[in-house]
Amino acid sequence: MGPAGLCKLPRRDSGAFKVEHSALDGVGIGDPTLLAIMALEGVKLVITETILTLIVTISSVHQGVATIDKGRMAGLEVGDVGLIYYQLTVGAETKRIDVGEGTLVEVEDSQSLLEINGEVVVRPSYLVEFDLPRPPSGSEEAGLTVESESALRSETEEVASRDQEESAEFAARQQALQDELNKAQADIAGLTRQLGLADIAQRKLLDELAVTRSELSRLRIAERCPETEASPEVEGPPEIEVSTEDEVPPETGGSPELETPTTEIPESLPQPDAPASRKAKVLAMVRDWAGAWSDQRVDDYLAFYAPGFQPPEGQSRSEWESHRRARIQGPSFIEVTVENPEILAMEAGSARVQLRQLYRSDTIKVAANKILELVEEDGRWKILAEILQ
């Protein structure tokens, strides 16, 4: 500070302050530090160096700039740096939590703008402490005058009480938010359980629906293709007639010669499709179907399904094909293996195959038992229905 002199310390509406000095004259106290709240009312001090500690409250914060409730009349100037903190009450103890620093960028008579330094979180009601090495600019005299101890204590207690109330209110809000969060988590857990039960019920209904559709498919196939069908008769080669009557040529009198008429025999006769060959075609079709699925050849895969195929869950054919296309093209790889294929029934134009299907991709691995209802169309076997067991 500059040269020594008498000065007056004006009353503060909020906050607390102290006066520190390095030398005193005219006062019978040799302690190097003198707090203002220890001085008697009306005592004049001659000091050589002063530091004013001013505590102000943040009223609002917007985009890294806080508004405080003190300004030029309290001795603040542009460029002053303050320490930002808040008080936290834990039981009967109040703790000070430092947050960061701020610099005054605009100062008016009764309020100022504080730019927050760094990426810190600052909220209204936080406090800012300034150490001012000068007397307030509104003082008419060149020094400080100490007010009574009772007035300073009253203001200090008022600030501490207000801070404590704000801390208690903040803690209550935090507890209320935590209670709401706990309730929301409990509600989510309940809904999750309900969804799980609903999913189980839906799967059960889908299984029952699949069995019903399988039975309907079997009945439709039985109606179109009777169980017994007469096998086509195979015509044998025509009989060869041999004349046994003797003929004597009129010109010679030798022994008569037997003349055998010739009849052309067809090179090949129509043969029925052997059962073993038909079964081999069915099993080959099943392997080709799995191969197209594994190779992710969607168009070839869909071609294995008959026009009369009924998609599951009430989907239309176009919806089902779009869904299957997405499921097959989505994974980075697919591997479908058919184990133990067995033809349970085979009739003219229809067949039923039971197999175990092993599916593996980059996202899932699953095995299932399946029955394929097949129908023969234009010489090709195609899938009329798929039934999961």
Q: What is the DSSP string of 187-250?
A: HHHHHHHHHHHHHHHHHHHHHHHHHHHHHHHHHHHHHHS-S--PPPPPP-PPPPP--------S
Instruction: Find the range with the poorest average confidence among 37-46, 162-171, 220-229, 367-376.
Output: 37-46
With bands split at pLDDT 50, 70 and 90, how would you rate the model's confidence at 209? confident
Identify the three-state secondary structure at position 81.
strand
Q: pLDDT per residue over 303-340, tens digit each?
A: 999 999 989 888 999 999 999 999 999 999 999 999 99
Out of 3.90.960.10, 3.30.450.30, 3.30.930.10, 3.10.450.50, select the CATH number for domain 275-388. 3.10.450.50
Q: Are 139 and 10 in contact (CB under 8 A)?
A: yes
Check residues 224 and 19 and name the one with the higher pLDDT: 224
pLDDT of residue 351: 95
Q: Where are the domains of the chain?
A: 24-155, 275-388
pLDDT exceeds 70 at position 202: yes
Least confident of 140-149, 158-167, 218-227, 240-249: 240-249
Is residue 258 within 8 A of residue 243, CB to CB? The reply is yes
Position 76 pLDDT exceeds 50: yes
CATH class of the domain comprising 24-155: mainly beta
Residue 197 has what pLDDT?
A: 86
Strand (E) or helix (H) holding 92: none
Grade residue 133 by pLDDT with cuts at 50, 70 and 90: confident
Percent pLDDT > 70 in the chain is: 69
- Predicted local distance difference test score (pLDDT) of residue 208: 81
The answer on pLDDT for 143 being more than 60 is: no
Looking at the predicted structure, is the pLDDT value of residue 273 above 80? Answer: no
Please choose, from the candidates 358, 381, 360, 357, the residue with its C-alpha nearest in 3D space to the C-alpha of residue 371.
357
160, containing H or E segment: helix 149-224
pLDDT band at 254 (very low <50, low <70, confident <90, very high): very low
Predicted pLDDT of residue 148: 52
Given this model, what pLDDT does residue 382 score? 96
CA-closest candidate to residue 360, choices 388, 337, 386, 384: 337
CB atoms within 10 A of CB 201: 10
* Residue 149 pLDDT class (50, 70, 90 cuts): low
333, 313, 338: which is closest to 323 by C-alpha? 313
Q: Which pLDDT score, from 0 to 100, does residue 50 have?
A: 55
